[in-house]
Amino acid sequence: MNLKRLFLTPAALLTLFSVAAPAAKPVSDDFISDTVRTKLAADTVVKGGAIEVLVKDGVVTLRGTVAEERQKSKAEKIAKKVNGVKSVDNEIRIEHPGAAAQ
């Protein structure tokens, strides 16, 4: 029984490393940018916000305006979840509709 465990453990480790190895492949800034833009546009909370996405060396900068704090927060959460993103600099401003007319 112990012999089976001895052989099973290295086999399990080998499987784990072979599955994890492709994930270490570097992701291009263009891929990150396209993915973040697509996910932001598809999200029902963020959709409608005027958000610019800039990416440099895996660091995402979000700029633009949204109507609500929850849109700003959700945009940052979405960007952070994209594969290859190292960090997110959220420069999104909140401009309540009608605030400019006052």
pTM of model > 0.75: no
Helix (H) or strand (E) holding 64: strand 59-66
Three-state DSSP at 60 gives strand
pLDDT in the model for residue 42: 94
Structural domain contains residue 77: yes
Structural domain count of the chain: 1
CATH number at residue 41: 3.30.1340.30
| Range of the structural domain that residue 72 is part of | 23-94
Q: Are 35 and 53 in contact (CB under 8 A)?
A: no
| Below-50 pLDDT ranges, the chain | 6, 102
pLDDT in the model for residue 96: 82
pLDDT in the model for residue 17: 53
